[in-house]
Structure 1
Amino acid sequence: MTTSASVDLTIRDISSGAARGSTCSTTLLEAPWDVDAGPSTYGPGASQADPLPTGSPRQGQIPEAYRTASREELDARIRAAKAQLGERVVVLGHFYQRDEVVQYADYVGDSFQLATAAKARRDAEAIVFCGVHFMAETADLLSAPEQAVILPNLAAGCSMADMADIDQVEECWEQLMEVYGEEPDADGLAPIIPVTYMNSAADLKGFVGRHGGIVCTSSNARTVLDWAFARGRRVLFFPDQHLGRNTAKAMGIGLEQMPLWNPRRPLGGNDERTLQDAKVVLWHGFCSVHKRFTTAQIDQARAEHPDVRVIVHPECPMPVVDAADEAGSTDYIRKAIEAAEEPTTFAIGTEINLVQRLAAQHPQHTIFCLDPVVCPCSTMYRIHPGYLAWVLESLLEGEVINRITVGQDVAEPARLALERMLAAKPGAAPVDAEAPAPGKQAAGARP
């Protein structure tokens, strides 16, 4: 496999026979605008088999000049537009973006880090978010009202975020209220507190804000669950079951106290006794990127590299997290590699764009993705330099393309839920709020 940070080049090398390896889709080489013009899917990559909800945003065709431009021409146009716009625009790039897009970002990070960066750049008229839809919504929630948040490709959604919609969650809540009632108990604790992962639509953040709940990230999920249990007997955690399960298990909560809620079944497929005994009700959602990682891949990595250090994202299934040496957020993974002083072999369980970029940035280490099949995030892959050039040059012409806005009726309670998250402080229990110092493991890591 190529040692380039570019997953695009890796896929091209594999397809041409210039490099060994395999990809999960023969259509990964297609331009995103060709994918947009086809059937309604998330596109090639990890989420290609996930059902796309009816009514999901479609991008539509962009001008031919951007579709036919060479890489070199797009590079020149993007750099020229950024230079002319100056401080008027800030470009944000998620860790999982292709290298051909990340190179233009003023800030690179996870979804919450980038939303925080947007909040700090009050001088920018426009925030171009090279990520996915829920991230742009969060940036709009945290930025100033006069700032325009732009998503270069409207089809860049998130299959996990789409696995819980507002109608399903409200129906779930109604059923849970019928089981638990709505009144606090003798200790003043609510029967259940809703917690939504950052990877969710703004209206779900608004839902938890209205119902006394809170937002979490992959790095502060334990702190947030501590906050929720200080206020309620139980937690409804959505949309990612794996982050919820892995975090709750690390807190000592038994698996029998974590029933799964299937929104297509009455009571989520549970009986009332199971729900009464529950501590964490987990939504039936998952990340298709992190679902690809397996314990067999970890076994293979250990067989080939006996001294390997395996770090996976907490969105991975529980057996994978249990088999790994450590589990932590994308930023945790990045910082753990940066902190390694001696040459180390790392097997990483997260999205391939970040893994290859880390491998290129740290040649003193051996860094590889646990999944041998090159399979990027389908929706992150929808952002392409052609779309970035289009929205930037449109700004030069005084036109705001693909602005993402959250209505005030949703924005107010959603901001409240985010503010609760920011105010929640780690308790006595360890928490992966930051990457640990060298030698210290994340919460839930193997001793």
Structure 2
Amino acid sequence: MSASTVVPEKDELLYTPDVANRMAPVFDRVSSAISEVEWPEFAPYVDRIMQLKQERNAVILAHNYQTRDIYHCVSDIVGDSLALAQKAMEVDADVIVMAGVHFMAETTKLLNPSKTVLIPDLRAGCSLAESITGADVRQLRKTYPGVPIVTYVNTSVEVKAESDICCTSANATRIVESLGADKVLLIPDQYLAKNVAAETDVEILTWAGACEVHERFTASQIIQLRKAHPDVTVLAHPECPPEVVEQSDFSGSTAALINYVSDRKPEEVALITECSMGENIASHNPETKFIRSCSLCPHMQRINLMNICQSLEGMTHEVTIDPALADRARLAVQRMLDAS
């Protein structure tokens, strides 16, 4: 099929009796997350995407922040950004569709250079990744000669290529301390850096970047939340400001927050992170009441069933990386994996 193939408009994919019959087992599997009222809208796209995955020998990676229809209905692998890229290395597929944002697709391509990696919407960016450039990192090296540069995986390939080593929100403190340096640049998320600084004796220098979802949260919101829900367990992502993390009961990566709920089964929980994640894990934890205190990521919301379908139909948009950049960026990621 050529790249110019046009996917039918949304109202042309109909919920026919044949579609209903084929998709009945899928709905049985996802009915705790998707309502019977919603299903006729989703099912025709789920049906077509499943057909296309088989034709293309494709898999779909869905970040924990993806919407319920993608996360539960069409994804093959779910998780945080680095886990998705790592797990993709283990699958027998020719095509990988990243239901996430652009830097995640780039990281997936870095670790899977022989596979075709697609992102359904090129506009699915990231405020944090866009806060810094490779030129900025080169300037930091001049300003702080000899200081190791640790770069969050939520960055472009260009930025990773200028870095010494990468980190995730889960392993940032461990990576910083593994370098054996008295002073480290941890870029670009200023709040992650400040939260790591509170956990280590290493002096942390950073960049004024932030996630537009997590920087919105305030300590006063958490205080008001606790007044309204005295028994709530508050779980915050470390991209939140330090004063928010201080007001929380636990802070960790998306995977760590999910594991906390699954393992400890709090009666009432507030996830101080992106909204969709709470919806995704609520169906697996019916005994826990979720207090909706979250923000939507506008970039993640650009990915939907329709453009996943379009991406597989037309094999768009393929992620490509300059080989010279890729080798250097891959080294920074591999150093992280080795240190972890």
Coarse TM-score class (shorter-chain normalised): 0.7 to 0.9
Match in the other structure for 2:312: 392
Amino acid at match of 1:241: Q
Residues 35-57 of structure 1 deviation map (CA, whole Å, 9 limit, x = unaligned) = xxxxxxxxxxxxxxxxxxxxxxx
CA distance in 1, matches of 2:326, 2:64: 26
1:309 Cα deviation from its structure 2 partner: 1.1
Match in the other structure for 1:162: 130
1:307 Cα deviation from its structure 2 partner: 2.0
Greater Cα offset, 412-421 or 78-87: 78-87
1:247 and 2:190 equivalent? no
Match in the other structure for 1:300: 224
Residues 358-403 of structure 1 deviation map (CA, whole Å, 9 limit, x = unaligned) = 23332211112334xxx41010011011101111223xxxxx3110
1:171 Cα deviation from its structure 2 partner: 2.1
Unaligned runs of 5+ in 1: 1-60, 178-190, 254-278, 395-399, 426-447
Count of aligned pairs between the two proteins: 310
CA distance in 2, matches of 1:233, 1:118: 36
CA distance in 2, matches of 1:81, 1:305: 41
1:246 Cα deviation from its structure 2 partner: 0.2
Contact persistence 1:295–1:323 (CA under 8 A)? yes
Residues 186-205 of structure 1 deviation map (CA, whole Å, 9 limit, x = unaligned) = xxxxx300010010001111
Contact persistence 1:164–1:285 (CA under 8 A)? yes
Residues 1:226 and 1:392: Cα distance change in structure 2 (over 3 Å): same
TM-score, with structure 1 as normaliser: 0.66
Match in the other structure for 2:287: 364
Residues 1:84 and 1:175: Cα distance change in structure 2 (over 3 Å): closer
SS at match of 1:65: coil
Match in the other structure for 2:69: 100
Share of identical aligned residues, percent?
A: 34
Greater Cα offset, 282-291 or 68-77: 68-77
1:218 and 2:142 equivalent? no
Match in the other structure for 1:383: 303
CA distance in 1, matches of 2:220, 2:41: 44
TM-score, with structure 2 as normaliser: 0.86
Q: Select the structure that is richer in helix.
A: 2
Contact persistence 1:74–1:389 (CA under 8 A)? no
Residues 39-84 of structure 1 deviation map (CA, whole Å, 9 limit, x = unaligned) = xxxxxxxxxxxxxxxxxxxxxx994723554684763244234235
CA distance in 2, matches of 1:144, 1:120: 13
Match in the other structure for 1:197: 152
SS at match of 2:150: strand
1:352 and 2:275 equivalent? yes
**Alpha carbon RMSD of aligned pairs, Å?**
2.1
Match in the other structure for 2:21: none
Amino acid at match of 2:330: R
Contact persistence 1:119–1:144 (CA under 8 A)? no
1:238 and 2:187 equivalent? yes
Match in the other structure for 1:403: 318
CA distance in 1, matches of 2:9, 2:110: 30
Contact persistence 1:244–1:282 (CA under 8 A)? yes
Contact persistence 2:141–2:147 (CA under 8 A)? no
Aligned residue among 100, 103, 110 for 1:141: 110
Aligned residue among 193, 211, 214 for 1:290: 214
Residues 1:239 and 1:128: Cα distance change in structure 2 (over 3 Å): same
Residues 1:348 and 1:142: Cα distance change in structure 2 (over 3 Å): same
1:314 Cα deviation from its structure 2 partner: 0.4
Residues 86-121 of structure 1 deviation map (CA, whole Å, 9 limit, x = unaligned) = 281011111111112222100111101110111111
Contact persistence 2:190–2:206 (CA under 8 A)? yes
CA distance in 2, matches of 1:225, 1:156: 29
Contact persistence 1:334–1:358 (CA under 8 A)? yes
